[in-house]
Structure 1
């Protein structure tokens, strides 16, 4: 089964100049039919003008993985801090509790942030980053064998950069969440006969191994769940 969620159907939060586009129920946007997928409970596409973002706020028992698409993100927390450029992945394992902030450092910044439920509650919080060169094959950003350790069982986040005509098989997993980050309104990828453009997503059940094909330059982000 494949369920496509178009970009225009996402919930949107506008505050203090920034825009957040949510793939699942989040904050004031509550939909009991759309509270998550597998252990994925948040998938936010963040667009921050310079100097905007989120002041200190707490988290606990959440594995938070961010991928910086463009610009620079200044992250400060009680377990680690730094400025993350485009092509950087960040893991914040909130565990028993952590306070952090995120602000666009300089140019307009876009990042995709995802939250998954941890395998065990109350673990020591930790922070890690990794610079990743996304290419035409899958690179595991977080999860088993990936650039960043993830305390969420067999869940894993992968990234690939597709040029026009490049074909790539999706990971072979029973549950997949595919998200498209494209550079232009007509760029994206083909999933079967369906064209997905910037901000579109697809939730796949027992469809692992399907082929996607680039239509103009884009990044594909895929969460896989055993």
Structure 2
């Protein structure tokens, strides 16, 4: 079974409120403005009903989900991630990390939160909302190494590394300087095969989950809940 960390996501499927609560619901019940609603942390003039409709109509972010029951701790996913990012202008380091407890192991990677605290904390746009690719994008050129994203991430899935990069005058190298890189899952968005970690995992313990797959999992769990309570 795929395991998710607790979150505050809005349901992605439209369930009539009367059926959900089993009581009549006023059409104006959710028209109260929500303070602090929205990605920028500003006060929203919309309603909860509008927010639900917006969540249904727009594709949510994708993310790579780990199944700890299949993870054998081999770190093949980390090796594949390093190889995928071992390109000029980038840093060869894993964007996910296999974490172990006494009982289980599983890679921890960016959740690509809809209201990502790392992106909101970044002062330079090195992390940004990327609705085109349904993710939290990375622009390494803008990273200044302040580590605000590291402190903001609730999952411990973001880190910052430094390396020496050449200083060029035209095509001539005249020295080197220290450059910071924010390290987090970018979904291998430029890779034809998708996330390298999921493709390389020998036990198929990593899955790229999009809104459609998430809706399927939600429906499966809802059915299981009803069957267990029957």
Structure showing greater Rg: 2
Task: Assess same fold via TM > 0.5.
Answer: no
TM-score category (smaller protein): under 0.3
Q: TM-score, structure 2 length as denominator? A: 0.27
Q: TM-score, structure 1 length as denominator? A: 0.27
Structure 1 or 2: more strand by fraction: 1
